[in-house]
Structure 1
């Protein structure tokens, strides 16, 4: 994927922080989340949380991720992949929700404005439209597929000025309940339309769709370095993780790192995630 250019802002990057919300248990993505926290499930051979951070990095001065479910595993991954460039906010007792998670980060945010994305929301679209001309004083939401806001809107990303953030408690609460709903009712919510591809990877079928979209963008199967594809195997429109070994046929499927597709097997619209975990066909 080409590097994402920084958008035109009416404020400095140093005045902005980016937060990836990644504390959810991912129960709807079971059984995949029995193996990995949802934020570490790979799309196009890159963890969802890394893809979210990739989108934020060109636009903000600092990055943070909140974590609860398998929090130590997520923290270890971020330490290895981002070399200390990402602050991790561990919610040890209970998940704090989308607003409470931001509330716990208030001392770190420290007067700056925030750009918020969910780790499980996959899109190749940069954040230019959300931030174009934004002065850091208003609440904005980028809504997928329309320019109106409702409780059922699919939110691609949001902005939060410090005057809003400083009032958020580190208690289990959601951004809709404590920020977006009132801002909308008072005519203070700015809505930006997103017309590109956006997939909430909350369920296995959606997760597979995101991977197939990544394949479509690449124009061919995505085979990670270190994967072994036998000469007799057929791989089409699929994602093959590092260290995977493929001896059978794989079509429109995802094979996680280190997994094996045996000779005579045929995966179609499936996810091979573990030695005893294959989801599909979907």
Structure 2
């Protein structure tokens, strides 16, 4: 079993508007949509807990669109960072809670990422990490426009504090502020997930994730 590095926390990104899923996301935040009877947010929090990160000292969730529903769903299980509209994006969302991160390294997880394999994808991401390189969970998806060493981003990344400390709490994305700069510096390593990954950002993909979850007996993640 992979041990959790010291000085590590997790940030679950749950602030997005889910525009491609409208009209359902006009009344329900995308992270609270169910897949296999379990919300995407609960799936992500369970996976994070599976690698030893749970509770408001170790896990933070950001919220913006329909934030009050995210706050109610978290129900004390994590630190909450509520952003004023519009959302700050993946980079700004992490930067907004740098005081809470406070020198720790960060496992950043997209709450709309459906993965099979239970907690194993996150364990592989953490295995042998030197706390210096940036790591991305990736899958083979040559049709995706943004690839890292031939792999498409699969919803989770490991960021050293050295790459987090100078981020600004303004709208922005980690692909521009951390991942590509680390790649140029030779300090980015994609870690392959050889199972199923679905970005649940469209009705078709959400339905595909729901079908897949239904085929896995007893699936909880």
1:102 aligned partner: 94
State TM-score, norm by structure 2: 0.88
Give, in angstroms, the shift of residue 137 of structure 1: 2.2
What's the counterpart of residue 170 of structure 1? Answer: 169
Please name the residue that 1:28 is paired with.
20
Conservation of the 8 A alpha-carbon contact between 2:151 and 2:190:
no
Question: Which residue number in structure 1 is paired with residue 46 of structure 2?
Answer: 54
Report the Cα offset of residue 42 of structure 1: 0.7
Aligned residue number for residue 240 of structure 1: none
Tell me the equivalent position of 1:232. Answer: none
Runs (4+) of structure 1 exceeding 3 A deviation are none
2:179 matches 1:180: yes
User: Which residue of structure 2 aligns with residue 129 of structure 1?
Assistant: 124
Residue 215, structure 1, aligned to residue 196, structure 2: no
- Offset from partner CA, 1:142-195 (integer Å, 9 cap, x none): 111279607982333100111111111110010001111111122110111111
Gaps of 5+ in 1: 1-5, 223-282
Taking a change above 3 Å as real, the CA distance of residues 48 and 219 of structure 1, as seen in their structure-2 partners, is closer
Contact kept in structure 1, 2:95 and 2:169, CA below 8 Å: yes
Structure 2 segments unaligned to the other structure (5+ residues) = none
Number of aligned pairs? 209
Measured against aligned partners, the alpha-carbon deviations of 1:213-244 in whole angstroms (never above 9, x if no partner) come to 11111289x9xxxxxxxxxxxxxxxxxxxxxx
Counterpart among 145, 153, 169 of residue 140 in structure 2? 145
Residue in 1 that maps onto 2:60: 64
Greater fraction helix = 2
| Cα distance in 2, alignment partners of residues 31 and 85 from structure 1 | 28
> 2: distance between equivalents of 1:72 and 1:152?
35
CA–CA distance in structure 2, aligned partners of residues 189 and 156 of structure 1: 15
What is the RMSD computed on CA atoms of the aligned residues?
2.2
DSSP 3-state at the match of 1:187: coil
Question: Does the alignment pair 1:201 with 2:200?
Answer: yes
